[in-house]
Structure 1
Amino acid sequence: MTDERQHRIPTILAFSLLPLSGFATDIYIPSLPSMGMALHISNVQVQLTLTLFLISYGVSQLFIGSVLDSFGRFKLGLIALLVFAIASLVIAVSHNIYLICLMRIIHGITVAIIVVAKRAYFVDVYEGDRLKHYLSMFTIIWSAGPIVAPFIGGYLEHLFGWQSNFYFLAVLSAGIGLLDWLYSRETLKKPVAFHLRTIADIYANMIGTASFTLGIAMLGLAYTMVMVYNMTGPFIIEHQLKLTPVIAGYCSLLLGIAWMCGGFIGRATIKRPFFRKLVFNLSLQILFAVTMIGSLFFVSNLFTLLLFAFLIHACAGFTYNNYFTYCLSKFPQYAGISGGMTGGVVYILVSIISYGIVSVLPPKDEGHLSYSYLILGLLSALVMIAVFLTNRKQTSTLRTA
């Protein structure tokens, strides 16, 4: 009981930092069109600030896990929070897109350190059913970012301009960093020796585990559905439909709730047959995308956009919740590395696929968004077929043995 009390505040603080990656991307989504006009840059250039964050966040996670498993989580996490706050202030006062892009790369690196450290905290402190309980809550807690951030960002943009989003990020990270410094401590019990050969072998073992790598692919495709909307939705709402950034913020808020609903359903069905429920979920997702395309022949407005996007994002949240819990609990002895590998590869996939899709299908109208959803659904179906074949092969091998 004493041990539980001792970890209560640090656990709350760890949960409060899990949505930071969502805040760093989603809070200024309603401001993307205004930001582009204020800086006199194109839509693609302003979308690049999102892509650079995703790439740096993803690549950093690939390596930062091994550093955290060797040198600890606490001090590195605090330093990262401080640097993140400073980078946010630099963006807020800058009008140079190249400097902003550089600061967004720094954002990605520091958020990777913070989030991977806090994921590893739970594996350090908890075990058994308690650990599974907390891991299954990760995507639900994380979805607070996509839900709350654009809602706040829409109002900040409307009242104070796009720079206020980054002032908010600076204050938020500095405040939580102060509380973390006061209440949290190092939780790493057995540091892993920082030997490049040993670390490389661990990475090779993880990558060679087919179920783990396929799970990461499913995570990447699921989150890309959200990111594609983030990169196109505000332009459709503000340019095509002629609505305000506040409305764009409300729309992102609604779709964040959809993602959270999918996470809750995933958590509620955690004991159901894994493969069967995911095939059913993916079938629904593809059906919704096809129906969305078909509806364009009859009607296209904000209501239809949000209706189908809500259903598709809920399915994506369900997929993400199930596979995220699985991937993070796959290698508990290397919590930092497995968490970093999972998050890193996911965000690299998301950055490449989402930027590729919006380049081919730019943020023109609901039609382009619906085709993007269908492409991602079909790619997910291919990965699920690979999952099925891998599972069948493993079962056959076990029976033969």
Structure 2
Amino acid sequence: MIIIFSIGFLMGIGVDLYVPSLPVIEKYFGTQQNLVQLGISLYMLGYGVAQIVFGICSDSVGRKKILQISSIIYTVSSFICIYAPHILVLDFFRFLQGVSVAGLAAVARAMIVDSFSGKKLMNATGWFGISWSMGPIIGPFIGSYLQHLLGWKADFFFFTCYGLGIYLFTTYKIPETNLNYTKMNFVSIEKNIKNVLFNPLFLSMTIVGGIGYSIIVIFNIVGPFLIQNIMGYGVIIYGYIALLLGAAYFMGCMFNRFAGKYFTVQKIMYWSTWTAIGISIIMLLMAFIVKNSLFMLLPCISAIFCCCGFIVPCSLVRTMSIFKSIAGTASSVFGSLSGIIVAVITIFAGELEMASSFYLALIYIVLFSIAMILIVLCEKKYFTEK
């Protein structure tokens, strides 16, 4: 549970810690805003495309080896980011950071399935989601002070030390949890991937989870420029705002654990998504009245993040319960697809340069509506586990 919690936290803080520094990085390299935002999108892309490889390998060579390899790559790539001479170099090693986090994430999710079952599985998955939510809570707050006191490079010193800590803890304290090794049979691998990938319920819930995560990451790439450059607030103020938003997501995760005792996962996702759509519409209407007002924006975004605290963990629980016998493959496909979804959506959002409350609300309405359609189809049994 210690390593699972630590990896979940790193997954959250890996983006959010250096988000307050984005405007400063733009000025440091003398580059365009979209190239700075690209570092987050490439991180998510690496996180997406590599999970399927690491997850499958962990079924064959064990979880511990993948943890060690991934943590070494993360430590080295984080250290190189400190001395990046150009924004594209920084973006490339952010991609490698995402690749290495993919290995950590795929293995951590598989370790949950290795170690728990039934209600304990849902409980451990919930704690994994909570650990991830701690990153958005603490990350921007710490990052804003690191930026204010030491500059943006301090964020990557933090990442370097964190990756090294995971490697040392894994090497000396973590046992192997995969007790059912499978041979690297490419025919079997292809069959397993197809079984997972073309399962309609799995695919639809993975898309919903990717959209829920995208909602948060979109604000991460837009929020610093909107709040610091357009609204005129300082980096420390942004850190406190991000702290509040992260706390809203965390509260959503906590309420989700309570709601899970009384309602099905599908019902929780259904009502939380409808709530998010309604709040996004209110945010859009208010943007016509008061343009780019922090006091209008903050309550709406906080409520939306709280809804995502229900949506994202529920989608993970729903998908991971389908393929327990090939947990590594299933978790890697889930992570790969959701990471790629986030990367594509955030690249599109970055190109729009939508640093305004109106465009932020508009894209939220579109994304939540797509998620709602998929949830309704699952609720009506158009998509089934078979």
TM bin (shorter chain): over 0.9
1:275 aligns with 2:266: yes
Give the letter aligned to residue 151 of structure 2.
G
Q: Any idea what the Cα deviations from partners look like across 1:174-223, whole Å, max 9, x if unmatched?
A: 12322222211222111111111101101111122211111001101111
CA contact (8 A) 2:377 2:383 kept: no
* Alignment partner of 1:118 out of 108, 132, 137: 108
Equivalent positions of 1:26-45 (< 5 A) are 26-45=16-35
Q: Any idea what the Cα deviations from partners look like across 1:234-266, whole Å, max 9, x if unmatched?
A: 000111111111211221221111111111122
The alignment partner of 1:194 has SS state of: coil
CA contact (8 A) 2:16 2:136 kept: yes
RMSD: 1.7
The residue number in structure 2 matching 1:324 is: 316
Aligned-pair CA distance for 1:16: 1.1
Structure 2: how far apart are the matches of 1:394 and 1:85?
A: 41
CA contact (8 A) 2:20 2:224 kept: yes
The residue number in structure 2 matching 1:358 is: 350
Equivalent positions of 1:310-321 (< 5 A) are 310-321=302-313
State the TM-score, normalizing by the size of structure 2: 0.95
Aligned-pair CA distance for 1:394: 5.4
Aligned-pair CA distance for 1:278: 2.5
Give the letter aligned to residue 387 of structure 1.
C
Aligned-pair CA distance for 1:311: 0.5
The alignment partner of 2:288 has SS state of: coil
Structure 1: how far apart are the matches of 2:9 and 2:156?
A: 16
CA contact (8 A) 1:19 1:142 kept: yes
CA contact (8 A) 1:55 1:348 kept: yes
- Pair 1:183–1:273, CA change in 2 (3 A): closer
The residue number in structure 2 matching 1:248 is: 238
The residue number in structure 1 matching 2:212 is: 222
Q: Any idea what the Cα deviations from partners look like across 1:134-176, whole Å, max 9, x if unmatched?
A: 1122211111111111111111011111111001110122123
Task: Mark the runs of 5 or more structure 2 residues left unpaired by the alignment.
Answer: none
The residue number in structure 2 matching 1:257 is: 247
CA contact (8 A) 2:18 2:152 kept: yes
The alignment partner of 2:317 has SS state of: helix
Q: Any idea what the Cα deviations from partners look like across 1:87-140, whole Å, max 9, x if unmatched?
A: 111111222222212211211111111121122222222233322211122211
The residue number in structure 1 matching 2:362 is: 371
Aligned-pair CA distance for 1:284: 1.2
- Pair 1:115–1:288, CA change in 2 (3 A): same
Aligned-pair CA distance for 1:392: 4.9
- Pair 1:393–1:81, CA change in 2 (3 A): closer
Give the letter aligned to residue 61 of structure 1.
Q
CA contact (8 A) 2:37 2:350 kept: no
Give the letter aligned to residue 364 of structure 1.
A
The residue number in structure 2 matching 1:51 is: 41
Structure 1: how far apart are the matches of 2:194 and 2:242?
A: 38
The residue number in structure 2 matching 1:334 is: 326
1:84 aligns with 2:74: yes
* Alignment partner of 2:278 out of 274, 280, 287: 287
The alignment partner of 1:296 has SS state of: helix
Give the letter aligned to residue 40 of structure 1.
G
Structure 2: how far apart are the matches of 1:35 and 1:224?
A: 22
Percent identity between the aligned chains? 27
CA contact (8 A) 2:70 2:101 kept: yes
CA contact (8 A) 1:17 1:118 kept: yes
Structure 1: how far apart are the matches of 2:265 and 2:64?
A: 35
* Alignment partner of 1:296 out of 278, 287, 311: 287
Aligned-pair CA distance for 1:386: 2.8
Structure 2: how far apart are the matches of 1:326 and 1:102?
A: 33
Structure 2: how far apart are the matches of 1:120 and 1:278?
A: 23
1:147 aligns with 2:133: no
The alignment partner of 2:289 has SS state of: coil
The residue number in structure 2 matching 1:188 is: 178
* Rg larger in structure: 1
Q: Any idea what the Cα deviations from partners look like across 1:308-347, whole Å, max 9, x if unmatched?
A: 0001111112111211111122211111111111111001
- Pair 1:261–1:85, CA change in 2 (3 A): same
Structure 2: how far apart are the matches of 1:392 and 1:31?
A: 45
Structure 1: how far apart are the matches of 2:360 and 2:49?
A: 27
- Pair 1:274–1:195, CA change in 2 (3 A): same
* Alignment partner of 1:197 out of 187, 202, 205: 187
Structure 1: how far apart are the matches of 2:348 and 2:79?
A: 30
- Pair 1:102–1:116, CA change in 2 (3 A): same
Give the letter aligned to residue 274 of structure 2.
S
